[in-house]
Each structure stands twice: as C-alpha cells, then as structure tokens.
C-alpha cells in the first residue's frame, strides 16, 4: 500500500528555473494538499484541492501554481524559483471522515 | 486568524513522562490532532481528539483538551529514546474543508 507518493525527493535549482513536484495518492481521497516546512515555522499550507477539479490558495501561495490532474494526482509548480522557496515540500491527502492527513515523505528543494 | 502555538523544544530523561503543550485559536475546530515527525520523514498521525471530549488515552499517550482555555496537551508516559521526534499540534480550519493549521512543532529529545 503506497499511500502518498511524491517525486522528486531532492532537487537543486538555480534562481529563475522552473520545476514541478509530482504527487499521487492511492487511497481514493477527495482532498489533497501541498505544504512547505521551514525550521521554526512548522508546516504552512501552499495550496489545496478539496475535490477533483478544484484548487484553492492556502497561507503562502505566491510563486506557486497547482494542478489537480485527476483524483489521484496533485502537482505543484514553481515557474521561476527563488532562494526563498528553499524548503521541504510535503504533499498530503485527507480522509474525508476524520480529517486525518496522510503525508508523503517530502521533497527537499534547494534554490541557489 | 487561526493560529496554533507550541514550545519549540523539550528535553526529558528516559523513563520520565513528557508533556507537550499547545494553544489554538479556532474554537469551532471539530478535531485536534497530534502528529509525529521522525528525522527525514513525513508526518504521521499519532492521535486525535474530538472537540467534545476532555481526555483521550491510548496506551502510553494521554491527550487533554481544555476548550475554555483552548489548550491541548500530549502526555507520553515512560518516554523512550524512540519517542525522540518533532511533535506537531494541529487544528481543523473552520473554512469548511478538511484543512489543518499546524503549530511550529516541539522537538522532543530523550536522553539516558
């Protein structure tokens, strides 16, 4: 049972480059999320998708775009990476009954 | 707006009890959660409590909820070195989605 799978696990970018983080879940969850984790700041919500076909901004959406490709997949795109986007990114999906979040293993992104 | 606060660091001796505290702001939260993050991994749900409960016990874990003071605590009895991790408190966002607001995380260090 894979749960939530995100790729890549590590990435180094130069300022101005673009990239897409991929995420897929196999638990038939409606809602999916992208968080970033920075030291001393916990997890902050970037974007979320309450259901297939919908996306909404979270706390820190600037500099990011998302696509809910289908029920399983939710991708996060950085169009023009900045050093402030150096972080660990987590994708998650949630059980619609309890609200429990299931997290991927994280993607560590460094922008030089 | 919604905010979750917790102390950043706790050090305990192996075998002692650990108590991690959290305060939250959204009184309409249906669930409150404790997540655990081990090094290099994503977050995993440790336990949760319904907002209409005062206490929940699960083996070595005891969760206490004081709704009046908006205070949540996690007690780990007989703390072991394997409990060393970052513990995140989270509340549900009242915007109508299964969206969580996380605290910054408390790093628990267990020493012999």
Task: Please tell me which of the candidates B4, B42, B99 has its beta carbon nearest to residue A48.
Answer: B99
* Contact: B105, A42; criterion CB under 8 Å: yes
What is the distance between the alpha carbons of residues B6 and A28, in angstroms, rounded to a whole number? Answer: 33
How many helices (H) and strands (E) would you count in chain B? 0, 11
**Tens-place pLDDT, residues B55-110:** 999 999 999 999 999 999 999 999 999 999 999 999 876 555 567 889 999 999 99
8 Å CB contact of B30 and A99: yes
Of A42, A92, A103, nearest to B103 by CB-CB distance is A42
Q: B100 vs A106: CB contact, 8 Å cut-off?
A: no
Across the interface, do B31 and A99 touch by the CB < 8 Å criterion? yes
Measured between beta carbons, the chain B residues lying within 8 angstroms of A96 are 98
Determine the average pLDDT of the residues in A31-36.
95
Residue B2 has pLDDT above 90, yes or no: no
Whole-number Å distance between alpha carbons of A57 and B12: 39
Residue B11 region by backbone torsions, left for phi larger than 0, else alpha for psi between -120 and 50, else beta:
beta
Percent of chain A with pLDDT over 70: 99
Pairing of strands B4-6, B18-24: antiparallel
pLDDT of residue B51: 85
Q: What is the pLDDT of residues A44-94, one digit of tens each?
A: 999 999 999 999 998 899 999 999 989 999 999 999 999 999 999 999 998
Taking residues A17-25, report their average pLDDT: 97
Residues in chain B, overall count: 112
Instruction: Select from A42, A54, A106 the residue whose CB has the most chain B CBs within 10 Å, as the one to mutate to test that interface.
Output: A42
């Amino acid at each position: 049972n894979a749960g939530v799978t995100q790729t890549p696990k590590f990435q180094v970018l130069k300022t101005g480059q673009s990239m897409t983080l991929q995420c897929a879940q196999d638990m038939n969850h409606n809602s999916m999320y992208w968080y970033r984790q920075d030291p001393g700041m916990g997890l902050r919500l970037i974007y979320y998708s309450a259901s297939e076909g919908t996306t909404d901004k979270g706390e820190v959406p600037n500099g990011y775009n998302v696509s809910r490709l289908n029920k399983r997949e939710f991708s996060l795109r950085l169009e023009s990476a900045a050093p402030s986007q150096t972080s660990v990114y987590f994708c998650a999906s949630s059980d619609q009954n309890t609200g429990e979040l299931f997290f991927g293993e994280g993607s560590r992104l460094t922008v030089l | 707006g919604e905010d979750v606060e917790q102390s950043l660091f706790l050090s305990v001796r192996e075998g002692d009890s650990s108590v991690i505290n959290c305060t939250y702001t959204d009184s309409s939260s249906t669930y409150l959660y404790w997540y655990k993050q081990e090094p290099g991994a994503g977050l995993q749900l440790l336990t949760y409590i319904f907002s209409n409960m005062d206490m929940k016990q699960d083996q070595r874990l005891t969760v206490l909820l004081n709704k009046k003071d908006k205070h949540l605590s996690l007690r780990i009895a007989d703390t072991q070195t394997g409990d060393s991790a970052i513990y995140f408190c989270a509340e549900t966002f009242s915007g109508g989605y299964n969206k969580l607001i996380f605290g910054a995380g408390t790093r628990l260090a267990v020493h012999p």
